[in-house]
Amino acid sequence: MDTNRVTPEDLVSRTADLVSLPDIYIRLKAVVDDPDSSMADVADVVANDPALTARLLKIANSPYFGFPARITSVARATSLLGTQQIHDLVLATTVTEAFSGIPSELINMQDFWSNSIRCGLLCRRLAQECNVLDSERLFVEGLLHDVGHLIMYQGVPEASAAALLQSQQQDRPLCLVERELIGCDYAQVGSALMRSWNFPPGLIESVHYQNEPARAEAFPLEVAIMHIAVQLKQHVVSGATPAEGSLRIDAAAWQQTGLAEAVVEPVCAAADEQLSATVEMLFPGNRKSA
């Protein structure tokens, strides 16, 4: 493939036959988006898929939520979590399954999702610090922040590897190097994929502007939270402690959230504490410490 000036839409279209969302999510989204639907309608859609039901109940009964009594039905889970939360959990689980066929020689998927979960936990904790009421939604946004790379690793693997290496050697933001070498970056590709899947607009914008929070349009707080979480995740994954070196966090993100660098260490510590349990929750039997 000629990688000169590849567009995000081109990459998404070329890999459309390799990744697709399961019908169960499409049916669930239609019900959630229907103003005339009820919690019972949402529960019925999930309950008709035994595998998804089992997984959702496992998640609902995990320490991540910490409900005092065991949840034994989808109807009960829906009443406790709400339809939007059920939607987001199903979205998280079905997207991870959509990319399950990526060859291991392209990327270590266990590491990829572990790092993505870390970002999700950071988003969730930062959202709580900002008093965002539906902070769980931000977990899903963080979890999916890097899916654009899964498209790029399949569509332009050599150029993507070269961009990563050059970014590390030159100590430059990966998104800028990808734009120079490929024509677009992983955030643009990820948001293009999400648009093609009709994902919620807040999720699309948070992914698209995760490296440029000052350009946020309709969801500036979500974008700012995502930006800080992504930078913290990258800093920790690189092997540095949160206090080491300079974090590449845009001043616009600090201003939008009202937070300061003093929040970095406790937020990272909270994410570390929950990481292993959350990996086990979403990927049972595939637990790995990060």
Which tens digits make up the pLDDT trace of 83-125?
888 988 888 888 888 887 777 777 888 899 999 999 999 999 9
What is the number of alpha carbons within 13 Å of residue 3 lying toward its C-beta?
20
Dihedral (CA of 274, 55, 36, 198) sign = positive
Supply the pLDDT for residue 71.
93
Q: What is the mean pLDDT of residues 198-206?
A: 93
Dihedral (CA of 85, 87, 90, 95) sign = negative
Per the structure block, which two tokens stand in for 149? 């790379």
Per the structure block, which two tokens stand in for 81? 């979590």
Give, to the nearest 10 degrees, the angle between helix 74-81 and helix 83-98: 110
pLDDT tens-digit map of 156-183: 999 999 999 999 899 899 999 999 999 9
Between 1.10.760.10, 1.10.3210.10, 3.90.600.10, 1.10.10.60, what CATH number should domain 1-19+103-290 receive? 1.10.3210.10
The answer on pLDDT for 69 being more than 50 is: yes
Q: What is the mean pLDDT of residues 1-26?
A: 80
All structural domains of the chain with their residue ranges: 1-19+103-290, 21-98
Supply the pLDDT for residue 242.
58
Q: What mean pLDDT value characterizes the chain?
A: 89
Cβ within 8 Å of residue 268, ≥6 positions away = 122, 232, 236, 242
Supply the pLDDT for residue 1.
43
Supply the pLDDT for residue 245.
55
- Alpha carbon 263 to its chain's center: 21
Distance CA(171)–CA(235), nearest Å, equals 12
The answer on pLDDT for 287 being more than 60 is: no
Q: How confident is the model at residue 3 (pLDDT cuts 50, 70, 90)?
A: very low
Per the structure block, which two tokens stand in for 155? 């569509």
pLDDT tens-digit map of 216-263: 999 999 999 999 999 999 988 877 665 555 688 999 999 999 999 999
pTM for this prediction: 0.89
Looking at per-residue pLDDT, the higher value among 19 and 278 belongs to 278
Largest Cα span, the chain: 56
Dihedral (CA of 200, 232, 66, 133) sign = negative
Q: How confident is the model at residue 288 (pLDDT cuts 50, 70, 90)?
A: very low
Per the structure block, which two tokens stand in for 75? 């109807």
